[in-house]
């Protein structure tokens, strides 16, 4: 997408296309998140809800429930890291051209406060030019609680490279 003229410059990948088809209904949003959890089972453990997904921005949420709590009854650090990685992965998937692929390469995360309520993670990827070779791309993620207080700040490093002939879309 050329953000100045708002014209489509590349084709839409299958993940964004599925989101656009299903996001109009509550069941469709549930089905999309469920499908993501089936393709990457580790994400299913937090029962994510995709709230917004578009090139450059992804917002996902999770409920605070017993299965994601730690011994002090706040949301477990790894569950929040999982939420961050999911948001960063989805925004990367729908922002890069379909001719590119990605894989998480690293994570820097700061736990700022106890998370004692439902959470929402926002990942942004404003980069719009992609190298012909591979490159590391930093995706910032912020996690806030129900009151809008930031409880986690993360940067997920994604390795973005051209798809090889025969690679399937994620």
Confidence at 163, pLDDT banded by 50, 70, 90: confident
Quote the pLDDT of residue 128. Answer: 75
Which residues is 137 bridged to in the sheet? 158
pTM of the model: 0.87
Q: In this structure, is the dihedral angle defined by the CA atoms of residues 120, 69, 46 and 29, taken in order, positive or negative?
A: negative
Secondary structure of residue 54 in the 3-state scheme:
strand
Q: Is 132 exposed, middle or buried (0-12, 13-18, 19+ CB in 10 A)?
A: exposed
Domain ranges of the chain: 14-162
User: Nearest CA to 67 among 56, 75, 59?
Assistant: 75
Task: Compute the distance between CA of residue 146 and CA of residue 49 in angstroms, rounded to an integer.
Answer: 14
Topology of the domain covering 14-162: Thiol Ester Dehydrase; Chain A (3.10.129)
């Amino acid at each position: 997408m050329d953000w100045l003229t708002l014209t489509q410059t590349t084709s839409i990948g299958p993940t964004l296309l599925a989101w656009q088809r299903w996001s109009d209904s509550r069941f469709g949003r549930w089905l999309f998140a469920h499908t993501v959890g089936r393709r990457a089972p580790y994400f299913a453990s937090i029962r994510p809800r995709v709230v917004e997904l578009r090139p450059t921005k992804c917002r996902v949420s999770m409920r605070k429930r017993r299965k994601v709590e730690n011994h002090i009854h706040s949301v477990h650090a790894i569950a929040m890291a999982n939420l961050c990685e999911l948001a960063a992965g989805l925004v990367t998937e729908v922002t890069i051209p379909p001719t590119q692929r990605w894989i998480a390469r690293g994570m820097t995360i700061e736990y700022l406060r106890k998370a004692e309520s439902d959470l929402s993670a926002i990942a942004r990827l404003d980069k719009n030019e992609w190298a012909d070779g591979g490159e590391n791309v930093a995706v910032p993620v912020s996690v806030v609680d129900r009151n809008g207080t930031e409880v986690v700040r993360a940067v997920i490093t994604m390795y973005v490279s051209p798809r090889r002939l025969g690679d399937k879309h994620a």
